[in-house]
Structure 1
Amino acid sequence: MRVRTVLGDVASADLGVCDAHDHLFLRTPRLPGRELDDPAHAAARLRAFAGLGGRTIAHWTPYGLGRRTKELAELSAATGVHIIAATGLHQAVHYDPGLLARIRPGLAALFHRELTDGPAGMIKVAGGFHGLDEHARHTMAAAAEASNATGAPIGVHLEEGTAALDVLDLLCGSLGVPPDRVILSHLNRSPDPWIHRRAAEAGAYLCFDGPSRAHHATDWRLFDVLAALAEAGHTDRVLMGGDTTTPDTPGMPHLLRVLRPRVEAQLGRGVATAIFETNPARALAFSGRAGGSP
């Protein structure tokens, strides 16, 4: 299996320790004055991550939100950390309506082009709070078309961790995306073990990311839900990420300095290896023709 990074394809077995959901650069009107837009700061975080044994990050900043793809390639080359960039779209509130109107008719072609010609190695889309609006459905349809043509994985922002099963019903039911091509994120923000088990049983990957100040009340439940998934036999579906969204987010270093040792201490070294190495090597890989034409 191959993974598409900003410096080209690599064997999935070479990814090493992965941060399965993060951001080096991000600009959105939803976070005014709190942009991630400093290459020196990004380089420092990457070096700290690498110093703790990190080898790969999945950079979930999609089209139109300040990905800085040229800098991503430069940072990867300078630090030796693999970076997987995203195409796709976030929720409509993150964009100028004029931009959405221009790109909407050719969205699937845009995603496909960025997956095949660069810079993207995955697609990022977003649901809504306990449901899917028209923008989400349109974006997910385009993502499904591009994923089914290329084999690219689809990462899904779940608003407050909700609507996981609605997303799977649409992507994997109506739109025919294999469930192991879908990564559901922010599940720690809605720590519902029943929903988590259902999503894992469906075959999707479950990404627990953060921590985040806005969701601190759920942080202490993270290891309860991880333990519940392990007990139910779903360790092979779990991923973790730092999800750095503002300059003060603990992010990548916290993921490996604090959370990974705790996974190992509470759930065992084998579970930690699965979550940070084995599972992301599968989840982030292209399936089928890996970027071929439809």
Structure 2
Amino acid sequence: MTAVIRTVLGDIAPEELGVCDAHDHLFVRTPALPGQELDDDEAALAELTAFAALGGRAVVQWTPWGMGPRTEDLPGLSRRSGVHIISATGMHQARHYARGGLERVYDGLAGLFIRELTEGRVRAGMIKVAGAYHRLDDHARHVMTAAAEAHHATDAPIGVHLEAGTAAPDVLHFLCDTQGVPAQRVILGHLHRFPDPRIHQQAAEAGVFLAFDGPSRVHHAADSHLLDSLAALADTGHAEQILLGGDTVTPAARSAADGPGIPFLLGGLRPRIERELGPDIASAIFTDNPARAFAAHWQRP
């Protein structure tokens, strides 16, 4: 079976993905950020258009079930912008859902994830889960267990929100050792928020993909370590596991609102990476690695 990438317009060959923002949001809502919802179609289109003008060809939206992903609107945005979009199923931390909003699905999460990955007009291309700060709580274990079951049924990749970049070893142990998910099907997100080179190396040696996402937010002091973190991984032979994403989660973070937005990856970061780490590593990070990270030998239970 040939590996393909599941976009909102259908499955494509990995080599068709192109330059990719490996973790971002076009639409999202959460009680944790009241009044800061991303819910504007035209603003989302403007981000995609600006990204495409810089050579961007794909965006992976990590907005999971129940957080306003507006999945049904993504195909139209993809057609209008010419940018491939990969959507997510999965579940975030419990605090991102209204009180009492999880009960009706909580005991059937694996089935929910599988349906969103394999059924309907618009299908998800990945599963998003989340750890807690420096640990895995009961909610995280419950969701990750369901995500692992859905992975084994479909081969979908699993992207992990690491709260403040922490708990990577715990996530690896639980997903890979306990639940049997192959390391190369796991993407650890937000590693730049906890710029511990030993943790990064440990995760890289395990074989996972390492996502550095959300650069140049004002509140991220770890930005000054980003290039050093990427260089350290490249120097030890792990450049083929690095992914980059913008992780835009509020209207103020969009480029039209003077935030970095999705275009910053190519307009701001890519020239620095090409200059300091070389064009081959830049090409791996933005093109080759996402094509492997999000490709799957899709199965339908």
TM bucket (normalised to shorter chain) is over 0.9
**Distance (whole Å) between structure 1 residues aligned to residue 191 and residue 269 of structure 2:** 16
**Distance (whole Å) between structure 1 residues aligned to residue 26 and residue 216 of structure 2:** 16
- Identify the residue that residue 270 of structure 1 maps to in structure 2: 280
- Identify the residue that residue 203 of structure 1 maps to in structure 2: 207
**Distance (whole Å) between structure 1 residues aligned to residue 279 and residue 251 of structure 2:** 31
Conserved? CA contact 2:165–2:192, under 8 Å:
yes
| Alignment partner of 1:184 is 2:188 | yes
Post-superposition shift, 1:96? 2.0
- Identify the residue that residue 98 of structure 1 maps to in structure 2: 100
1:239-282 deviations in whole A, cap 9, x for unaligned? 00011011122121111100011111100000000000000000
- Identify the residue that residue 46 of structure 2 maps to in structure 1: 44
| Alignment partner of 1:231 is 2:235 | yes
Matched-pair identity in %: 63
| Alignment partner of 1:244 is 2:248 | yes
- Identify the residue that residue 299 of structure 2 maps to in structure 1: 291
> SS at the partner of 2:129?
strand
Post-superposition shift, 1:214? 5.5
Which 5+ residue runs of structure 2 have no aligned equivalent? 254-259
- Aligned residues between the structures: 291
1:227-248 deviations in whole A, cap 9, x for unaligned? 1101111001100001101112
Conserved? CA contact 2:31–2:98, under 8 Å:
no
AA of the residue aligned to 1:96: A
1:38-76 deviations in whole A, cap 9, x for unaligned? 000000000000000000011000000001112111100
**Distance (whole Å) between structure 2 residues aligned to residue 72 and residue 215 of structure 1:** 29
Post-superposition shift, 1:97? 3.4
- Identify the residue that residue 115 of structure 1 maps to in structure 2: 117
Which 5+ residue runs of structure 1 have no aligned equivalent? none
Post-superposition shift, 1:25? 0.3
**Distance (whole Å) between structure 2 residues aligned to residue 15 and residue 213 of structure 1:** 26
Conserved? CA contact 1:115–1:291, under 8 Å:
no
1:15-54, aligned counterparts within 5 Å? 15-54=17-56
2:198 counterpart (194, 198, 208): 194
- Identify the residue that residue 157 of structure 2 maps to in structure 1: 153
Post-superposition shift, 1:78? 1.0
AA of the residue aligned to 1:92: A
**Distance (whole Å) between structure 1 residues aligned to residue 114 and residue 218 of structure 2:** 34
**Distance (whole Å) between structure 1 residues aligned to residue 146 and residue 274 of structure 2:** 39
**Distance (whole Å) between structure 2 residues aligned to residue 248 and residue 284 of structure 1:** 28
Post-superposition shift, 1:189? 0.3
> SS at the partner of 2:126?
strand
- Identify the residue that residue 61 of structure 1 maps to in structure 2: 63
**Distance (whole Å) between structure 2 residues aligned to residue 179 and residue 122 of structure 1:** 15
- Identify the residue that residue 135 of structure 1 maps to in structure 2: 139
**Distance (whole Å) between structure 1 residues aligned to residue 218 and residue 162 of structure 2:** 15
- Identify the residue that residue 271 of structure 2 maps to in structure 1: 261
- Identify the residue that residue 220 of structure 2 maps to in structure 1: 216
Relative to the length of structure 2, the TM-score reads 0.95
AA of the residue aligned to 2:299: G
